[in-house]
Amino acid sequence: MELKKKYLPMMMAAGLMTTGLATTAAQAEGMSVGGDVGVFSQYMWRGMQASSTASVQGDLGVDAGNGLSANVWFAAPLGNSATGGNTTEFDFTIDYSGEVGDLSYSLGFIYYAYLNGASANTGEAYAGVGYGPLSVTYYNAVLANAGGWQKDAYVDVALGHSMGGFDFGANFGFYLPSTDVANPTAFPTTKKELGHVDLSLSKDVTVGDVTMTPSLMVSIPTYTGKPKNANQFVAGVNFAY
């Protein structure tokens, strides 16, 4: 599931259902180090079923201070993916975040690397702003992979709210068409480029020194070519370390 990186403030985009750096971080020489790991019923990425089988997902991050941070996130399907392979994904991120008054901002770069599928490796630069429960993040594919995926753009609009110990989230993903004929938008969409809507619910449960987070997400895709009768519900639980 895509609870992507709470550790990076503006990347609550990719959803609540991948993992993120939890608040229980170890302190070492002025740097905060921490992460989490969990099991999810499948792996969804921006409204797409990346793996129809259960997936182990984890995150390890370092906060170097002064707004700079870096982390690596992974997803390892426990069986065949929707495309018939079993590819473990690693996302390496460098981020600079800060605040100006009530506004937060984040700038960074993500490199996507795939074990046993290096032809899909690519990279995105992103920039985001947030105000209260609302954040907007713009992603642009600046590195092409072997399939020519480059210059595609994606915008995530995220809303978050906490009530009664539960965290509620809504993410709206927009695929922006490429103007480069040689590199068309990778995922044609409908409904004025709205690619998907993700609704999520999670709750932190602390047992001793361990924080456990059960979560549930439903991803509602609108893009063309989505897997027929694909199960768009993702349930999971992750543990902070």
Residue 188 has pLDDT above 80, yes or no: no
Cα torsion 4, 134, 218, 9 to 10°: value is 10
Bigger pLDDT: 2 or 162? Answer: 162
Average pLDDT over every residue of 166-194: 70
- Please identify, in words, the CATH class of the domain defined by 9-240: mainly beta
Residue 137 has pLDDT above 60, yes or no: yes
Q: How far apart are CA 186 and CA 189, in angstroms?
A: 9
Buried b (16+ CB within 10 A) or exposed e, 99-133: eeeeebbbebebebbbeebeeebbbbebebebeee
Domains in the chain: boundaries: 9-240
